[in-house]
Structure 1
Amino acid sequence: MQSGASRSANVQLPAPAKSAVGSSVVGRFRSARDGALIMTSTGRDASLDAARGCLMMLGIVLHSASIYAVNGNWLIVGRERSYAFDLLVGAIHVFRMPAFFFVSGYFFALALSKMSAREVAIQRMQRLLVPLLFSFATLNVLQVIHSDVYHGRWWLQRLSTGQVPVYHLWFLVDLIVFTATLLVLMPILKRVRWFDSVPVPTPFGLLLGLSGFSFLTVALARLTPFAYDSVAGLATLFDLATYGPYFAGGALLFVRRDWLVIFLQTPIYFSIAAVPLAVFIHQSLDSLSRWQAEGMLAFCQVLVWVSIAGVLRLFRKFFFKATSFTTFLAEASYTIFLFHHLLVAVVGVMLMPFDMPAGINFALCVVIVFASTALIHLLLVGRFDVFSLLFNGKRTLKAVTRSRAANSRETRREMLPDRSTPP
């Protein structure tokens, strides 16, 4: 990461590879609209915006289901529970955060192809660090108070000792680490040209390569004596090694978009089968020997990458073009994610006095929290610059429009002749 150099002197991500094989594949599928393949330009991709937005919003479903899962150990536990919610929680865990980090890595590489490393670092730190710090100091503190009141504890004692968990904000911590790591490694990656000389693999070969990279990264982390030691309660090396390969994979497949085309040729029925199979394997690990369990965990890496391909294909099929809905997802998902964790707990407690089946409580919780968080974005975060900065790390769309209009007026004034002096 450089500080004082000009834009031209900064390290930038190399343009996507254009090998002979890759170019023919890309050209052949550039206009594909059947959802089986994806090929983006240097602009933003509506399907990936929709995917990232839905994956973030899926946190509402995940944490609402955790309340009513039989083996759930979330902040609150519902009176009526069902094993169906254990399966739902397990299924979401298979693909949600891996796919989210993959898309985040892709957009990171996209930004780095258009801006200098210094500009990307400033932009990403504002987008990640500001919401992390402010949400931690407000929403997480409120969540501690609510949790302690619910459990009959004295909340002031925990706050006075600084025992405020990071809760759902852990993903922002991970994104900051991944972003900083790739920016530091970028000069090296630029020299090796991101595997330009590596030929286009088969879909199966690419899946094995990505899965092997994930497994090797986790294995190396587990060999260290501090793999599970938390740094200030924010992250562990094991957690970073688990999700880092997905972020790196998304960045890599932006550069090698011929590989991305191949990756998304993964048969959709493989993806459909991968999620329940991974859930079954994770639930069966306790009955296996150590080495059998290790083998199954390695196989699960393949299943996760297959599920990522399935998620991207699904969104490519149904959200191929930008619409008002995809725009809303892209704009509001950050706010919805930050606020949902606290509101799921609050609404879950509010629903407990009502003698209703777990399924109805779950549905009500999801609908109420989604509507509430969407309104928070529409009426607060999306309208006022200060809240947009504090919770989204950016200015509102209205502020950007005003700034562009002001710049346009200034440009027009500069182009007008100066009438104060005679010709």
Structure 2
Amino acid sequence: MNTNQRLHSLDNLRAIMMWLGIVVHVSVNYMESPAPTPWRDSQTSLLADLLIVFIHAFRMPVFFILAGFFVAMLVARRGIAAMLQQRVRKLVWPFMLFWPVLFIGMALLMAVYAHLNAYGTIGVDFSLIPQIPGRAKVSLLHLWFIYYLFLYCLVYALLLRLSVTVPLGWQEGFARSWKILGMNWWGILLLSLPLAVAGGFYRNGMVIPLGSFLPDIAEFIHSGLFFTFGIFLYRYQSEILENFTRKSWLYLIAGLPVFVLFLKLSKSFGSAESTGYGMQWAMAYLYNGVSWLWSFALIGLFLRYLPGRNRVLTYMADSSYWVYLVHMLGTMGFGILLYHSPFAAIGRMICNILLTTVFCLLSYHLLIRHRFMGRFLNGGTKKTTAGPDAGAIHPSQGAQ
């Protein structure tokens, strides 16, 4: 498989992962599990909870692996300084432009949703918005991804500068250790250990970013490990990607019983307060094992079955940055409009997913794609292959 095919495959994967962000954030409206978020519908479904847990296992890990891959490619092609300049243009300026607008818009939608939950009518009362434990009133929202990604780029650039003082043999040995971890099944057991330690501080072992401007150590380590793997994936892409392609179905199937066991433990045990750190650690270890298995599986499956340029997925990839930025306005806004609809939870979820998807893509096509904002976000849409910009997008969840 040539380089262009690999890049097309990863861009196709990125497009699907971006769309799954809409599914996740719509599902948050209708989940049964207790949650402090104010955008909660009167109708709930266990399916929403399962979708969140299922998609969250691999979606953000895949995004950070791809981000590390493309950042490493950018450094290899253009150098450290050019990488940082491009990251400022792709991450910092969009964040500074969109965060204030999204913060105001989402705060307004939260107030309306909270009023619906309290009184069943449309209204705006900011005092009804519950304070999420551990989350600052002024948070990163779902833009935590690009915020953390830029921090990782800064750390990566600094380490590259400092690496000149490290003996070449040590550098090679450290790099090869990541290759070995990615090539062997037992590597997943080792890669899951630090993630389990970080996840042990979260309910059911799942790291859900709280969006603080001051990076949380556990969250920073968790996403950073996937980003780091992506860096070395680029270095050894021929061997590791071939391995992923060959073992893609094995990775996928192997993750299923581990995921089922995690679900059983999650159902049997409560939150971190009632479960204790030991069980939280066990659940985190299982869940992150699934994250590695299914991330490797998805990369391999897209390399195997979607290696070429696909018009639909290419369009979705081109629009993904815009979709990432504005989709929460859709999932919350349409959730408000569907609040008194005659549909049950699943029907409302389907309608919300479809409406948000149409809203995001239509607004991109009419207002963004061929205009200044399209060039500002991704340098235009005429791409012959996936490029370094692909690593800038993402994915989630406010987020997941």
TM-score range, shorter chain: 0.7 to 0.9
2:40 alignment partner, SS class: coil
Tell me if the contact between 1:221 and 1:237 (Cα under 8 Å) persists in the aligned partners. no
- Which of 39, 58, 79 aligns to 2:20? It is 58
1:108-151 superposed Cα distances (whole Å, 9 cap, x missing partner): 11111111110011101111111111111112211112222343
Aligned to 2:398: none
- 1:98 paired with 2:78, answer no
- Normalising by structure 2, what TM-score? 0.78
Q: Distance in 1 between matches of 2:321 and 2:52?
A: 21
1:210-289 counterparts in 2 under 5 A?
A: 210-212=191-193, 214-215=195-196, 218=198, 233=213, 235-257=215-237, 258-264=239-245, 265=247, 267=250, 268-286=252-270, 288=275
* Matched letter for residue 165 of structure 1: S
Tell me if the contact between 2:201 and 2:277 (Cα under 8 Å) persists in the aligned partners. no
Could you tell me how far 1:347 is from its partner in structure 2?
Answer: 0.3
Aligned to 2:132: none
The one of the two structures with greater contact order (alpha-carbon pairs below 8 A, sep at least 6) is 2
- Which of 99, 108, 113 aligns to 2:76? It is 113
- Which of 117, 134, 137 aligns to 2:100? It is 137
1:380-415 superposed Cα distances (whole Å, 9 cap, x missing partner): 121111x2255x2x4324799xxxxxxxxxxxxxxx
Aligned to 1:23: none
Q: Distance in 1 between matches of 2:332 and 2:5?
A: 38
Q: 1:398 to 1:46 in 2, by over 3 A?
A: closer
Could you tell me how far 1:230 is from its partner in structure 2?
Answer: 7.9
- 1:187 paired with 2:172, answer no
Aligned to 1:414: none
Name the stretch that deviates more: 203-212 or 248-257: 203-212
Q: RMSD of the TM alignment (CA)?
A: 3.3
1:168 alignment partner, SS class: helix
Q: Distance in 2 between matches of 1:288 and 1:156?
A: 33
Aligned to 1:45: 7
Q: Distance in 2 between matches of 1:399 and 1:313?
A: 23
Q: Distance in 2 between matches of 1:273 and 1:295?
A: 15
Name the stretch that deviates more: 360-369 or 202-211: 202-211
Tell me if the contact between 1:67 and 1:78 (Cα under 8 Å) persists in the aligned partners. yes
Q: 1:96 to 1:361 in 2, by over 3 A?
A: same
1:53 alignment partner, SS class: helix
Could you tell me how far 1:68 is from its partner in structure 2?
Answer: 1.1
Tell me if the contact between 2:9 and 2:308 (Cα under 8 Å) persists in the aligned partners. yes
Aligned to 1:25: none
Aligned to 1:206: 187
Aligned to 1:332: 319
1:169 alignment partner, SS class: helix
Q: Distance in 1 between matches of 2:363 and 2:16?
A: 17
* Matched letter for residue 234 of structure 2: F
1:289-313 superposed Cα distances (whole Å, 9 cap, x missing partner): 5424323423333222111112212
Q: Distance in 2 between matches of 1:197 and 1:291?
A: 32
Could you tell me how far 1:102 is from its partner in structure 2?
Answer: 0.9
1:152-171 counterparts in 2 under 5 A?
A: 152=115, 153-155=124-126, 163-171=137-145
Could you tell me how far 1:70 is from its partner in structure 2?
Answer: 0.9
* Matched letter for residue 178 of structure 1: Y
Q: Distance in 1 between matches of 2:106 and 2:280?
A: 36
Bigger Cα Rg: 1
2:3 alignment partner, SS class: coil
Q: Distance in 2 between matches of 1:305 and 1:72?
A: 27
Q: Distance in 2 between matches of 1:247 and 1:240?
A: 10
1:76 alignment partner, SS class: coil
1:311-347 superposed Cα distances (whole Å, 9 cap, x missing partner): 2123223321112123112201111111110111000
Aligned to 1:24: none
Tell me if the contact between 2:139 and 2:212 (Cα under 8 Å) persists in the aligned partners. no
* Matched letter for residue 330 of structure 2: L
Which 5+ residue runs of structure 1 have no aligned equivalent?
A: 1-30, 32-39, 223-227, 401-423
Which 5+ residue runs of structure 2 have no aligned equivalent?
A: 116-123, 130-135, 203-207, 385-400
Tell me if the contact between 2:200 and 2:284 (Cα under 8 Å) persists in the aligned partners. no
Could you tell me how far 1:189 is from its partner in structure 2?
Answer: 4.8
- Normalising by structure 1, what TM-score? 0.74
Aligned length in residues: 351
2:342 alignment partner, SS class: coil
* Matched letter for residue 83 of structure 1: L
Aligned to 1:396: 380
